Amino acid sequence: MKTVAMVLFPDFLLLDMAGPLEVFSIANRYLPDADHYRISTIGTERTALRASNGVLVHADHPLEQSLDSYDLLLVPGGPGAYNQQHQPLLAWLESAPQRARRYGSICTGAFILGHAGLLDGHRVTTHWHYTERLGKSFPKALVETDHIYLQDRRLITSGGVTAGIDLALSIVAQDHGKKVALEVAKVLLVVMKRQGSQAQFSPLVAAVAPQDSPITRVQNHVLEHLEEAFSIERMASLAAMSARHFARVFAREVQMTPMEFLQSARIDRARSLLESSDLPLKTVAFRSGFGSVRHMRFLFGEKLGLTPTQYRQQFS
């Protein structure tokens, strides 16, 4: 019997807890008794803990009464994970590598692992909205943005909210084979492996900085005229700079090259049109500045892991 524990703290996200634990609970229906998952929750307080949606949950055990070892130890996300620090929990989690055969986080629970020193030197992920913040908070971690979940040795982290279900399904598949995991996925009405990555949910281009500068003026001009042809030279002329100097300044201020910005902005425009209209792909490609459906399809596959048609089917 494998032991699975979820650590709870004030203001945790309820779905981060319930989704993965439901996977292991349903898996027990398809497993012999000796192979069942033994599921428990560990609380930072002896009293009931209030989740971020207001629901009260009473953990099975407080930290000081937890077991000495677990097969899997998970930390959920939520406002309490990235806006607060729970010192007793952090001290307890420092021993997670010795306490658990596998350990990890759902969504922004990665921030708690980071404060406990467990992300350093590992490839990790979190909800797409928080990857930049995670990377800045824990520079020794190798934060990757394009994974639904990511396992690096014994550490496993996931993207936001429902990605915890994907993480749990992957563990069931490791423990008991793909067939059992597939049966669980069917019960939950989810797919075993999603198409694409977290990039399909997040904008590729961040909002243009509010301050007025030659670079922001170029960005705004490009966004307003995406259907037109742009080159480094044309963008540089709009900023009244040489092409070489412009490319260097743009990359420093925007954290991507001018052509990466242009390409990403066109993908975002196409995504918006695919989500909000029934326009033919040829029209979407033209209005987004791709020039051809073939080029648009290639870049969608490269950046999002989906074709424009697949994207429309999933998000429109």
pLDDT at 196 over 60: no
Stretch 223-249: mean pLDDT: 94
**In this predicted structure, what is the pLDDT of residue 128?**
86
Q: Report the SS3 class of residue 128.
A: helix
Q: Over the Cα atoms of the chain, what is R_g?
A: 23
pLDDT digits (tens, 9 = 90+) for 115-155: 999 999 999 999 988 998 999 999 999 999 878 899 999 99
Percent of the chain scoring above 90 in pLDDT: 74
Residue bearing tokens 């260097």: 248
Q: Report the distance separating Cα 107 and Cα 244, nearest Å.
A: 40
pLDDT digits (tens, 9 = 90+) for 250-300: 999 988 899 999 998 999 899 889 988 999 999 999 999 998 999 999 999
**In this predicted structure, what is the pLDDT of residue 145?**
82
**What domains sit in the chain, N to C, each tagged with a CATH number?**
2-195 (3.40.50.880), 214-315 (1.10.10.60)
Which tokens sit at 79? 């406002």
Measure the N-to-C terminal CA separation of the chain; round to a whole number of Å: 43
- How far is it between the farthest Cα atoms of the chain? 72
Closest CA to 236 of 251, 254, 220, 214: 214
pLDDT digits (tens, 9 = 90+) for 100-118: 999 999 999 999 999 999 9
Q: Considering only 13-17, 168-172, 311-315, which range has the smallest mean pLDDT?
A: 311-315
Across all residues in the chain, what is the average pLDDT? 91
Where does the pLDDT of residue 198 fall: very low under 50, low under 70, confident under 90, or very high at 90 and above? low
Percent of the chain scoring above 70 in pLDDT: 94
β-strands 56-57, 100-105: how paired? unpaired
CB 171 within 8 A of CB 39: no
Q: Report the SS3 class of residue 102.
A: strand
Closest CA to 158 of 125, 133, 132, 201: 125
